[in-house]
């Protein structure tokens, strides 16, 4: 198998502990599309860019570089589905490749951790980037088992697009990578006011000041509620957690009545490629809500 069809799968912290269904969906999708997914043994926290980097940028880079070294030894690019993990690993990878002095400093510290040396031989990819640019709507059509009739409010999150000088993936003001990809699945993207703002969870805000986090999230949900989508579609487990638990918080404490299912792009894609809703954890995630995911199917071949 060609090297560019093999990925070292970086799980991060939140997904395997809170959302194993996203992990399962990711593996299903990538393998359906012909990729080989490898486990990264002894990988640790990325670590989170908004918290660790703020306190000690040097150690943040060393910690991230250790994860990069694991993938380098596997001779495989890293694949992640988390914006925070992507932000840290992609940024550190770029900085160390471009700054020889910094690379030497980090490698000196890596020696203290064992047989690690950053060489700069791999890339870091977000699943959304691979789906949108490498596969594209043109490349997934033949793999689709189900098409759905859904209106989705899309949440890009912060670290996927910014800083633009490092990510260079899409416009940070008017991105279309998700909209273009999900259209072929039958999903209509529904724009809403201030769509690209933070969900209120990142940068340590949620852990440090829950009230501030919920104020930011409350504004986000107010804007989403104005356009009445069928689902909220995200690309990051941490944003996913905010949208799930945050709706319940606002309902209980702020007199709101939000009831929007939250779906990760890996789950949506896996469902359209033939994975059943139960295996994807969709019944569990919807928690008895009235939304019927199956009723939105407009094309259904024999599921694989």
- At residue 292, the pLDDT reads 58
pLDDT at residue 303 greater than cutoff 90: no
Task: Please state which architecture CATH assigns to domain 141-300.
Answer: 3-Layer(aba) Sandwich (3.40)
pLDDT digits (tens, 9 = 90+) for 254-263: 999 998 999 9
Q: Has residue 52 got a pLDDT over 80?
A: no
User: With contact defined as beta carbons under 8 Å apart, do 82 and 14 qualify?
Assistant: yes
Phi, psi of 150 (to 5 degrees): -130, 145
Mean pLDDT of 157-180: 84
Q: What is the CB-side half-sphere exposure of residue 294 using CA atoms within 13 A?
A: 6
Asked whether residue 243 carries a pLDDT value surpassing 60, the answer given is yes
Task: Give domain limits for the chain.
Answer: 3-126, 141-300
Same CATH topology for 3-126 and 141-300: the answer is: no
Tell me which residue of 77, 107, 101 sits closest to 90, measured CA to CA: 77
Read off the pLDDT of residues 16-40 as tens digits, 9 standing for 90 and up. 999 999 999 999 999 999 999 999 9
Mean pLDDT of 89-96: 96
Q: What is the pLDDT of residues 211-222, one digit of tens each?
A: 899 999 999 999
- Note the CATH number of domain 3-126: 1.20.1050.140
The widest CA-to-CA distance across the chain, in whole angstroms, is 57
Check residue 59 and give its pLDDT.
93
Q: What pLDDT sits at residue 93?
A: 97
Share of the chain above pLDDT 90, in %: 74
- pLDDT for res 304: 41
Task: Return all residues near 64 (Cβ < 8 A) that are at least 6 apart.
Answer: 46, 47, 88, 89, 92, 93
**What's residue 280's pLDDT?**
85
Which tokens belong to 161? 């697009």
Confidence at residue 161, expressed as pLDDT on a 0 to 100 scale: 84
Name the percent of the chain lying above pLDDT 70. Answer: 92
pLDDT in the model for residue 293? 60
**Top-confidence residue, 165 or 137:** 137
Inform me whether the pLDDT recorded for 289 exceeds 80: no
Query: For residue 287, is pLDDT > 80?
Result: no
Cα gap 46→41, rounded to integer Å: 14
Indicate the average pLDDT of the chain.
90
- Cα pseudo-dihedral 147, 152, 155, 160, rounded to 10: 20
For residue 80, pLDDT beyond 70 = yes
- Which whole number is the average pLDDT over 189-210? 86
Strands (E), the chain: 6-9, 36-39, 77-80, 124-126, 146-148, 150-155, 187-189, 231-234, 262-264, 297-300
With beta carbons less than 8 A apart as the criterion, state whether 232 and 258 touch.
no
| Cβ atoms within 10 Å of 19's Cβ, excluding its own | 23
Q: What is the band of 290 on the pLDDT scale with cuts at 50, 70, 90?
A: very low
Q: What pLDDT score does 288 carry?
A: 42
């Amino acid at each position: 198998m060609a090297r560019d069809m093999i990925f070292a799968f970086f799980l991060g912290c939140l997904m395997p502990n809170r959302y194993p269904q996203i992990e399962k969906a990711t593996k299903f999708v990538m393998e359906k599309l012909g990729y080989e997914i490898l486990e990264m043994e002894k990988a640790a926290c990325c670590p989170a860019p908004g918290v660790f980097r703020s306190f000690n940028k040097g150690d943040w880079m060393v910690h991230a570089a250790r994860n990069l070294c694991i993938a380098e030894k596997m001779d495989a690019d890293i694949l992640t589905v988390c914006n925070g993990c992507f932000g840290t690993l992609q940024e550190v990878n770029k900085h160390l490749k471009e700054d020889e002095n910094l690379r030497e400093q980090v490698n000196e510290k890596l020696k203290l951790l064992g047989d690690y040396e950053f060489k700069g031989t791999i890339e870091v990819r977000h699943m959304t980037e691979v789906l949108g640019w490498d596969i594209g709507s043109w490349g997934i059509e033949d793999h689709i088992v189900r098409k759905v009739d859904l209106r989705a409010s899309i949440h890009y999150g912060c670290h996927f697009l910014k800083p633009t000088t490092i990510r260079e993936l899409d416009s940070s003001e008017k991105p279309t990578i998700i909209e273009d990809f999900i259209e072929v699945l039958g999903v209509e993207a529904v724009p809403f006011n201030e769509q690209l703002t933070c969900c209120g969870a990142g940068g340590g805000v949620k852990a440090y000041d829950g009230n501030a986090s919920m104020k930011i999230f409350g504004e986000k949900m107010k804007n989403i509620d104005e356009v009445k989508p069928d689902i909220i579609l995200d690309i990051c487990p941490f944003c996913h957690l905010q949208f799930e638990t945050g709706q319940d918080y606002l309902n209980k404490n702020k007199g709101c009545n939000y009831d929007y299912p939250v779906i990760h792009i890996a789950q949506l894609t896996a469902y359209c490629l033939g994975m059943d809703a139960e295996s994807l954890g969709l019944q569990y995630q919807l928690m008895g809500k009235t939304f019927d995911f199956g009723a939105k199917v407009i094309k259904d071949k024999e599921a694989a």
